[in-house]
Amino acid sequence: MQKRVTVPKNFAIIPDGNRRWSKSHRMSLANGYKQGIEKFVDFSIWLKRLGASTVTVWALSTENIENRSSIELSILYKLYKKASYDKKLIDLLNKNETKVVVIGNMRRLPSDVVLALKHLQNVTKKNAKFTINLLIAYGGRDDILYAAKRLLNDSINKKIKVINERILQSYMMTAGIPEPDIIIRTSGELRTSGFLPWQSSYSELYFSKKYWPDFGIDDLKAAISDFSSRQRRYGK
């Protein structure tokens, strides 16, 4: 009797290893990141076809912005702008009824990048079958600090009287996104590095040794199969 496979509804992905993949293939960093973006487009389509409803992807962290070179960041920004205005990509997203929601500290990004990302979000906003939550200029601690500052201000101004978990979460940049059923990280790194710390308390973690551009549909199915074999207890 074949084992029943349960496909998680809400995925999250830390697509790590683009730089090491580029080096191992003797390719430019720009080419490696381009391959990573193309792989994510394929990945989101696979998820939708398998029955998932959302994927939250960490595209760029606050730590990346602080610690990566200006040359590397410039490459990433150029690729994000190009993808955001790519008619072929936009048509594909709309064909697959996929909307993109951009989440992060937009003040940390160049204005032309913000404008491009807002364009991508706007031209896909009517789609309702699948959602890509694009975390860019995002850090988990930064998100909680952002919420705490807003809460403090509203508390001082008497706009709120009670603070609880639900209210705190509503003040975050990531307010409204579903808690991931599974978080996948590629490249062999065995940590989450501050990814969705509030929402990931009961997320199942899956680590792949493959660099992100090499992660294929069979690897995704292996992650889903592993998820299906686990018993989620939620503190019970």
In this structure, what CATH number is given to the domain that contains residue 17? 3.40.1180.10
Is residue 196 domain-resident? yes
- pLDDT, residue 3, reads 64
The residue segments making up the domain with residue 132 are 10-228
- pLDDT, residue 236, reads 67
- pLDDT, residue 156, reads 87
Categorize the per-residue pLDDT at 47 as very low, low, confident or very high, splitting at 50, 70 and 90.
very high
Verify whether residue 64 is a known catalytic residue. Answer: yes
Verify whether residue 16 is a known catalytic residue. Answer: yes
Distance from C-alpha of 224 to C-alpha of 62, rounded to nearest angstrom = 29
Nearest residue to 104 (alpha-carbon basis) of 146, 67, 71: 146
Distance from C-alpha of 123 to C-alpha of 144, rounded to nearest angstrom = 29
Q: Could you write out the three-class secondary structure of 147-216?
A: HHHHHHHHHHCCCCCCCCHHHHHHCCCCCCCCCCCEEEECCCCCCCCCCCCCCCCCCEEEECCCCHHHCC
Number of domains the chain contains: 1
Categorize the per-residue pLDDT at 213 as very low, low, confident or very high, splitting at 50, 70 and 90.
very high
Categorize the per-residue pLDDT at 1 as very low, low, confident or very high, splitting at 50, 70 and 90.
very low
Categorize the per-residue pLDDT at 4 as very low, low, confident or very high, splitting at 50, 70 and 90.
confident
Is residue 215 domain-resident? yes
Is residue 223 domain-resident? yes
Is residue 134 domain-resident? yes
Signed CA dihedral, 30, 109, 55, 164: sign only: positive
- Decide if pLDDT at 158 tops 90: no
Is residue 159 domain-resident? yes
Task: Read off the pLDDT of each residue in 17-28 and give the average, rounded to a whole number.
Answer: 94
Categorize the per-residue pLDDT at 215 as very low, low, confident or very high, splitting at 50, 70 and 90.
very high
Is residue 233 domain-resident? no
Task: Read off the pLDDT of each residue in 99-128 and give the average, rounded to a whole number.
Answer: 98
Task: Read off the pLDDT of each residue in 23-31 and give the average, rounded to a whole number.
Answer: 94
Nearest residue to 168 (alpha-carbon basis) of 180, 150, 156: 150
| Chain segment 36-45, per-residue pLDDT in tens | 999 999 999 9
Distance from C-alpha of 200 to C-alpha of 98, rounded to nearest angstrom = 23
- pLDDT, residue 161, reads 83
Is residue 2 domain-resident? no
Task: Read off the pLDDT of each residue in 6-28 and give the average, rounded to a whole number.
Answer: 95
Is residue 235 domain-resident? no
Question: Which of 78-87, 151-160, 223-232 has the highest mean predicted lDDT (pLDDT)?
Answer: 78-87
- pLDDT, residue 196, reads 97
Per-residue burial over 38-69, b = 16 or more CB atoms within 10 Å of its CB, e = otherwise: ebbbebbbebbeeebbbbbbbbbbbebbeebe
Distance from C-alpha of 185 to C-alpha of 52, rounded to nearest angstrom = 18
The pTM of the full predicted model, rounded to 2 decimals, is 0.95
Categorize the per-residue pLDDT at 150 as very low, low, confident or very high, splitting at 50, 70 and 90.
very high
Question: Which one is catalytic: 18, 31, 42, 64?
Answer: 64
Distance from C-alpha of 13 to C-alpha of 195, rounded to nearest angstrom = 9
Question: Which one is catalytic: 10, 16, 133, 143?
Answer: 16
Cα–Cα separations (whole angstroms), residue 182 to 24, 65, 161: 28, 26, 35
Percent of the chain with pLDDT over 70: 97
